[in-house]
Structures are given as C-alpha cells and as structure tokens.
Amino acid sequence: MIYWAPLLHFYQPPTQLHWVLDKVCDESYRPLIKLFRGNPSAKVTVNITACLTELLAEHGMKDVIAGFSELAEKGQLEFTNSAKYHPILPLIPPDEVVRQITQNDETNRHFFGSVYAPKGFFPPEMCYSRDIVEPILKVKCEWVILSGVACPLEWPIDIVHYITAPSGKLSVFFRDDILSNMISFRHIDALSFLKHLSRLRGEREDIYVITAMDAETFGHHIKSWEKLFLAEVYEALNDNPPALIHEGVLHLRTLIDRQRTALSLQTEVDEIRAVTITELVRLFRQGTSVEPKPSSWSTSGEDIKVGNIYPLWNDLNNRIHQLLWEHLNITIDIVKKAVEAPDNETSADHSELARGLLDRAFHSDPFWWASKKPNWDINLINRGLMAQHEALLNGYKAIMTRNSLSIHDKREYRYLVIAARDLRARIREELFGS
C-alpha cells in the first residue's frame, strides 16, 4: 500500500483586510470544505493558525470554522497545533515560543471545541531549530512536520524517526519538497501525480509520502486548482467516484480506465490510500533518534551550507530584515519591562495593551515581503513595522507612567525608544528608495 498524507496550511496575518479575507474564503476555504464534504473517504491534515480562526469569527465567517469542525467530527480532518500569530519560532525568545504555542492551542480549542485535539505540530513556514522541540512536547504533541531539506539521513518512506529531548520523544516527518512544490506551482497534474506515487514504492511493500503546502494554493493562488487537482486525485482513489466534477473536464477515473492497458495504472491507484499524518505513526515502524537540520520549507541545501538558514525572513545580506529584527528586539525589551510591575491604572492598561500587541507583532509577513526572493511589498512591510511600533509605543507609555521607576531607569528606556525611531527612519528610507 502507498499511504499519501496531505497537509494543508491555512493562514492569514492578523493585519489582514476584510475584503482580502472574504476573497480568500470564497475562492479557497469554502470550496475546499465543499470538496471534502463531497468526498467522504478523503482525508487531510490541517493546520489553521489561531489568529486566522479569530479573524474568521470576528469577520462573520463562522461557517468556515463550522465546516472544519464538521469534517473533524467525521474523521476526515485532523488538526495540528502551531504558533498563534505565525512567528518564525527559532528567531524569537524561548518564552515567546512557549506563549505563542500555548495561545494557539487555547484559542483553537475555544473555537473548535473537543474536535480540536492535535497530535502533531506544524512550525510556521516549517522553520525548525532544536530549541523549539521542548515547547512542542509541552503541549502534548507526538510528532512534528519539517521540510525535506531538514532530513539528515537516508530519505525515510517506510520508517518514522524521532527527536530525543529531555522530556520525551517527538516523532518527526519530512514533507516531500519536490512533489509538494510541483503541486504548488502547477507543474504536475492529477494523473501524473498518481503515477509518481506508484513509482516511488519500488520493491517496498508499504511506503508513505507527505505533501504539504499553503491551503490558499487551491483556488486563491491558482484558480480552480482544488477541482483540477485535489478533487481529481481524491475521486480517483474513491471506490465509487461521483459524476463529472465540472463541465469540460473528463473525470480522472475515466481517463485512467481509458489508458490503463498502456499505463498499467489501475492496480496502482487501487493501492494508494489517503490518510492523516497521525495514522502513519501506527502504520510504520519506529526508526532511530535523529537531529534534523535547522531549516524552513524555503531553505535550500546551499542556504544551509552558508549558514543562511531562514532566507525569506532573516537573510544575512538583507538590510531591511536586519533592521526589522533590531527594531523588534528593542520592542521586546520595552514590553518586557512594561509588564513587570505596573503600579497604577494607566500603567497597567498600557502594559496589558502592549503585551497583546507584541504577540501580533511577531507575525512573519513583513519579513517575507521584504525578502525580494521575489516577494516585495512596501505597504505590507510598513504595516508590519507599524504593528511593532504600536507595541513599543504602549510599552513605553506604561514605563513612563509607572511611579516606582527612577528617572535613571526611565531615561534608559527613552534611549531605546530613540534608537527604535532611528531604525524606523532607516527602514522607511529603504522603502522610499526601492
């Protein structure tokens, strides 16, 4: 048997505009839910960041939340845990890693209820370092999914390795980067995908293949891709496929039947089964303890060689990346001081606001849009910078209104605010000159 475990990552930044969110729901999220409802035997692993869950609730799109819950209740969908505001976990302080993961778990449990019971963990952008293992185990996750480039040994397709940590073992899965990217960029069709899976098995009796990508790939980034690819694959694996899915496109089972003599594919299709990633833990034997390479799903082998581990978010040669991280680190220092011990109502109000704003300011989007590989958008970079500034502003206000702080201590944080102001000016000079 060939076990295919697809993972879809659902995410929108906390700063997302209503009309964009509405468009994504109509083009991608609702069609995907409809697709799975129409294919009761189809299974998928889903990561939905809790900041998106909150956005859906706040913007009157609770039908999407209900759709996920329904599919989870039926056993077609399993959730993973993640980090609430989609930060690059290896690049933020350890206590903030724990906070983001815990908030994600609590928020999604609030909205999804008992059907939200994640066994696995999806690091945002699959950004991994050894430092995030203990926080993942702390929320009772049993496995983590990483990019294929993180795999440190022979490619595992019939064995499940694990990471050893002081508090336990964490099974580790690696996505098939090549196959996932072929799907994401429409470089493979449904029939070719199934043939590819069949070839991967070779002489082995049972194997597994994991694909993972942004859910928005289907319908939002690539129009009708959920019909032209996902629906065709799932229906080909269905014992009793429904009628043609849309006008002008032949059903894949018809194509397979038509070509099975030449392609000898019919038997192979019958031996492919869609499963959730958690099912793979019980289906395959345990391997050995491994040390995955620090990486992301956008990191190349060459990036790892030169130590440029997270190139779309912290490129060593990207001036805006470095300035944004400097500004964020100052913001963190100021907010940490603000929440220590507010001693009056004004200070308490601003410290609480600063703490919540800092959580949101960790989101990865401004760094991604500043990468120039090829992503570049001055408005979204500036929006992320302003999110950081709002946290800093309220943190500084909390510090300056605290009665118990000395003039000397307040002066120290004023110097930090002046430094942050200079960093913002330098970032905007880069944006104006771009």
Where do the domains of the chain lie? 2-289, 319-432
Q: pLDDT tens for residues 192-247?
A: 999 999 999 888 999 999 999 999 999 999 999 999 999 999 999 985 444 333 44
Percent of the chain residues past pLDDT 90, beyond the cut: 91
pLDDT score for 434: 74
Q: Give residues with Cβ within 8 angstroms of 111, minimum separation 6.
A: 50, 53, 54, 57, 65
State the pLDDT at residue 155: 97
Is the pTM higher than 0.85?
A: yes
Helical axes 190-201 vs 252-263, angle rounded to 10°: 50
pLDDT value at residue 388: 98
pLDDT at 309 over 90: yes
Q: Is the pLDDT of residue 384 over 90?
A: yes
Is the pLDDT score of 20 beyond 70? yes
| Residue 227 or 251, more confident | 227
pLDDT given at position 270: 75
b/e code 225-243 from CB counts within 10 Å (16+ = b): bbbbbbbbbbbbbbeebee
Mean pLDDT of 337-357: 97
Residue 169: exposure state from Cβ atoms within 10 A (0-12, 13-18, ≥19): middle
* Stretch among 53-62, 106-115, 237-246, 344-353 having the lowest mean pLDDT: 237-246
CATH fold for the domain made of 2-289: 7-stranded beta/alpha barrel (3.20.110)
Amino acid, res. 290 = V
Coil, helix or strand at residue 100: helix
Instruction: List alpha helices for 299-344, DSSP H.
Output: 301-306, 319-338
Q: What is the C-alpha separation between 226 and 24, in angstroms, rounded?
A: 13
**What is the mean predicted confidence (pLDDT) over 379-392?**
98
